Amino acid sequence: MEFRKDIEDILAGLTSLLGVNAVLISDRDGNQTYSWYRTDLDKRDVKVTGEGLLRMREISQGFGINSNIGGMANIIVRGPKGVAILSPVGDSFILYVSADRRANLALLLVRIRRAVDQLLKILGGGPFGEVGVGP
């Protein structure tokens, strides 16, 4: 129970932001380690799986290397209703954040980076691939 409380404390900077409607953490095997949804409707509507997050991370890592941008720090997918952001937490976990159009993308990215730095301390691991995820 203390582990979940630690995760919730770290993610409070994300879950408190206007527009954020879902936050998930999955491990490298596709298992959901943590999930938070603003409402039951968000829980129903967000259909992302741990396996899907891992596939997206693998595809994007290769794309980042082949694009000569040094790998991947975040995956940002924008749509007409909002944004979904994936951020590796070391080599073992991935953080997913979904937000509607009210969210401030710049602030969201800053808070994600801060959360990833703190999550690395309790989940272990170093930067993902060759990309440092910290400041």
CATH code of the domain containing 32: 3.30.450.30
- Taking 70 as the pLDDT cut, the residues of the chain under it are 1, 71, 125-135
The secondary structure of 61-113, three-state, reads HHHHHHCCCCCCCCEEEEECCEEEEEEEECCCEEEEEEEECCCCHHHHHHHHH
pLDDT, residue 57, reads 80
pTM of the model: 0.84
Q: Residue 69 carries which side chain, given as an amino acid letter?
A: I
**C-alpha to C-alpha distance for 135 and 132, rounded to whole angstroms:** 8
pLDDT, residue 127, reads 53
- Domain span including residue 6: 2-123
pLDDT, residue 80, reads 96
Looking at the structure of the chain, the number of domains it has is 1
Cβ-count burial 20-46 (b if 16+ within 10 Å, e if not): bbbbbbbbeeeeebbebbbeeeeeeeb
